[in-house]
């Protein structure tokens, strides 16, 4: 389906970029993601998995560095262009889109420090990588701490009773890291580097955390088995274990003094990505429903010609456009601002994931029994969308965090 874009100011470059990624999403991401979806979690990351060829092709298209500035060798895309790319990838497969974006996380954050050593050691090799051999992941949640780790506004966040599962101590010029991250680290089982949250000063709870880069070939690192789950099965996940792992002092990107602002930057970016992918997912469900409603005959005519169906199809369209409007507005704001207004990223993530989920749910209803069979993609879109309500912070926790920011930020009395 040729999709109209409400923004009449897209440049030729924007349109060409979108066309390239759309083609990749249609011809590569969709078929690969469905193939992996049908495999076990172990098979999905085995040497003969189609994941590897997908990654190689995505790196060749430079999709691994779309968030990185041109100055350091990244793509240097405008916020709108980032949105265009992420939406198309989300249409192709939310799981693979996430896999391809999380690979840049440690390097993206290293760029924000502007530290020459980190740029030379980590960012430049990543940007030059064309074969998919350098892959990042993000380890923030822990076996004992899911929502806790982003609950900045809650009193317990800074409580000494909050003992993290991953500790770091300074020993001369090195950090020594021990502990473990949750089974949910996206891309963790195939990653070569981790953007790792560690507790440095436990007397401050999670406010005493730091964020570092750990190459996962360091002595003392081990990985868990890939996790089996119902949605985003094309995105592998697994634990990371650290046993007295040593890294140079300079690889700590943020210590407790800068932890919360850094956490906010990460949350702002991660949530914008999730909102943009969800727009693609919402669109995919809308397109499936529209196409089916024109093909399926009931009462002697196509479903779309029935009055009640027209309204339902319009609602799917409306939610898709709302997702796009919200996620573009938020990306346009927060990819230009430092520090970002995190509440707008939280707004975009919570709203877009809810609307995308609603679209997949409603599209299945429009497809009737056919929507439930594994023969068609809709049931996968539905399972993938369900996971988005939980990942990158479940929506209730993100909403509470947003409420906390609003309470802190805005004056008691309107001016
Ligand atoms: C597909 C996917 C990808 C992910 N990728 C990553 C990744 O790359 N890296 C990573 O580190 N983690 C990742 N995660 C983990 C994810 O961030 C967590 O699952 C999420 O933050 C929620 O934590 P939890 O699952 O432990 O749920 P919990 O925090 O245990 O929450 C369970 C329920 O309790 C509620 N709840 C929690 N706290 C409170 C409270 N204070 N008051 C009231 N209600 C509360 C929640 O709203 C929720 O409904 C991923 C998860 C998924 C599903």
Task: State the Cα–Cα distance between residues 143 and 148, nearest whole angstrom.
Answer: 11
pLDDT in tens, 93-122: 999 999 999 999 999 999 999 999 999 999
**Span(s) in the chain for CATH 1.10.540.10:** 12-128
pLDDT in tens, 153-182: 899 999 999 999 999 999 999 999 999 999
Does residue 390 line the site of ligand 1, with CB under 6 A?
Answer: yes
Distances from the Cα of 55 to the Cα of 168, 196, 205, 388, 398, angstroms: 32, 23, 38, 22, 30
* pLDDT of residue 291 exceeding 90: yes
Does residue 271 line the site of ligand 1, with CB under 6 A?
Answer: no
Residue nearest ligand 1's atom 47 by CA: 396
- Are the C-beta atoms of 6 and 321 separated by less than 8 Å? yes
Question: Mean pLDDT throughout 277-293?
Answer: 98
Question: Mean pLDDT throughout 363-368?
Answer: 98
Task: State the Cα–Cα distance between residues 37 and 385, nearest whole angstrom.
Answer: 14
> Ligand 1 pocket check: which of 101, 138, 146 to mutate, most ligand atoms within 8 Å of Cβ?
146
Task: State the Cα–Cα distance between residues 199 and 206, nearest whole angstrom.
Answer: 7
pLDDT in tens, 115-130: 999 999 999 999 999 9
Residue of 197, 214, 213 whose CA lies nearest to 260 = 197
SS3 374: coil
The superfamily (CATH) of domain 259-409 is Butyryl-CoA Dehydrogenase, subunit A, domain 3 (1.20.140.10)
pLDDT in tens, 336-346: 998 999 999 99
pLDDT, position 358: 98
- Are the C-beta atoms of 383 and 230 separated by less than 8 Å? yes
- Are the C-beta atoms of 247 and 177 separated by less than 8 Å? yes
- Are the C-beta atoms of 302 and 295 separated by less than 8 Å? yes
Domain 12-128 belongs in CATH node 2.130.10.10: no
- Are the C-beta atoms of 324 and 71 separated by less than 8 Å? no
pLDDT, position 228: 98
pLDDT, position 412: 66
Residue 139 CA: nearest ligand 1 atom is: 11
Task: State the Cα–Cα distance between residues 188 and 99, nearest whole angstrom.
Answer: 10
* pLDDT of residue 90 exceeding 90: yes
pLDDT, position 414: 59
Q: Between vectors from CA 187 to CA 101 and to CA 237, what angle results, nearest 5°?
A: 135
Does residue 267 line the site of ligand 1, with CB under 6 A?
Answer: no
Does residue 147 line the site of ligand 1, with CB under 6 A?
Answer: yes
Q: Percent of the chain at pLDDT above 70?
A: 98
pLDDT, position 408: 86
Question: Mean pLDDT throughout 397-403?
Answer: 95
Q: Is residue 2 very low, low, confident or very high in pLDDT (cuts 50, 70, 90)?
A: low
Q: Is residue 256 very low, low, confident or very high in pLDDT (cuts 50, 70, 90)?
A: very high
Report the chain's C-alpha Rg in angstroms.
Answer: 21
**Span(s) in the chain for CATH 2.40.110.10:** 136-258
Residue 197 CA: nearest ligand 1 atom is: 11
Question: Mean pLDDT throughout 216-235?
Answer: 98
Does residue 101 line the site of ligand 1, with CB under 6 A?
Answer: no
Q: What is the DSSP letter of 186?
A: B
Q: Is 62 left (phi over 0), alpha (psi -120 to 50) or beta?
A: left
Decide which of 2.40.110.10, 3.20.20.120, 3.30.450.40, 3.30.565.10 is the CATH code for 136-258.
Answer: 2.40.110.10
- The pLDDT mean for the chain works out to 96
SS3 48: coil
Q: Is residue 284 very low, low, confident or very high in pLDDT (cuts 50, 70, 90)?
A: very high
* pLDDT of residue 392 exceeding 60: yes
Q: Is 130 left (phi over 0), alpha (psi -120 to 50) or beta?
A: alpha
pLDDT in tens, 263-280: 999 999 999 999 999 999
Measured in Å, residue 131 CA sits from the centre of ligand 1 at: 32
Question: Mean pLDDT throughout 82-89?
Answer: 98
- Residue 361: CB atoms within 10 A of its CB come to 16
Question: Mean pLDDT throughout 371-384?
Answer: 98
pLDDT, position 118: 97
Residue 150 CA: nearest ligand 1 atom is: 21
Does residue 78 line the site of ligand 1, with CB under 6 A?
Answer: no
DSSP string, 219-264: TTEEE-PPPP-SS-TTS-B--EEEEEEEEEGGGEEE-HHHHHHHHH
């Amino acid at each position: 389906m040729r999709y109209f874009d409400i923004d009449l100011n897209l440049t030729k470059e924007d349109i060409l970029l979108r066309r390239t990624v759309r083609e990749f999403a249609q011809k590569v991401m969709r078929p690969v993601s469905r193939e992996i979806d049908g495999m076990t979690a172990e098979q999905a990351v085995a040497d003969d998995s189609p994941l590897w060829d997908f990654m190689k092709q995505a790196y060749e298209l430079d999709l691994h560095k779309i968030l990185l500035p041109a100055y350091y060798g990244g793509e240097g895309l405008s916020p709108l262009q980032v949105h265009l790319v992420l939406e198309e990838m989300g249409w192709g497969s939310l799981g693979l889109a996430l896999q391809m974006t999380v690979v840049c996380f440690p390097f993206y954050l290293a760029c924000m420090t502007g530290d020459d050593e980190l740029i030379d050691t980590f960012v430049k090799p990543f940007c030059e990588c064309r074969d998919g051999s350098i892959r990042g992941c993000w380890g923030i949640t822990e076996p004992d701490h899911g929502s806790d780790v982003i609950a900045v506004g809650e009193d317990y966040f800074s409580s000494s009773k909050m003992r993290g599962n991953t500790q770091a101590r300074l020993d001369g010029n090195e950090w020594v890291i021990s502990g473990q991250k949750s089974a949910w680290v996206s891309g963790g089982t195939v990653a070569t580097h981790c953007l790792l949250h560690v507790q440095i000063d436990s007397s401050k709870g999670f406010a005493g955390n730091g964020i570092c880069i750990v190459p996962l070939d360091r002595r003392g690192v081990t990985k868990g088995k890939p996790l089996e789950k119902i949605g985003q099965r094309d995105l592998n996940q697994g634990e990371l274990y650290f046993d007295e792992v040593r890294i140079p002092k300079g690889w700590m990107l943020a210590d407790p003094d800068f932890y919360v602002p850094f956490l906010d930057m990460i949350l702002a970016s991660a949530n914008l990505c999730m909102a943009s992918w969800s727009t693609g997912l919402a669109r995919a469900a809308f397109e499936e429903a529209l196409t089916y409603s024109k093909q399926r005959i009931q009462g002697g005519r196509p479903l779309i010609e029935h009055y009640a169906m027209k309204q339902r199809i319009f609602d799917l369209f409306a939610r898709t456009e709302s997702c796009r409007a919200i996620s573009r507005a938020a990306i346009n704001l927060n990819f230009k601002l430092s520090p970002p207004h995190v509440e707008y990223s939280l707004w975009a993530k919570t709203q877009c994931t809810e609307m995308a989920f609603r679209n997949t749910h409603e599209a299945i209803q429009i497809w009737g029994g056919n929507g439930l069979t594994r023969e068609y993609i809709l049931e996968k879109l539905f399972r993938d969308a369900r996971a988005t309500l939980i990942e990158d912070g479940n929506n209730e926790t993100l909403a509470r965090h947003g409420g906390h920011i609003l309470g802190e930020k805005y004056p008691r009395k309107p001016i």
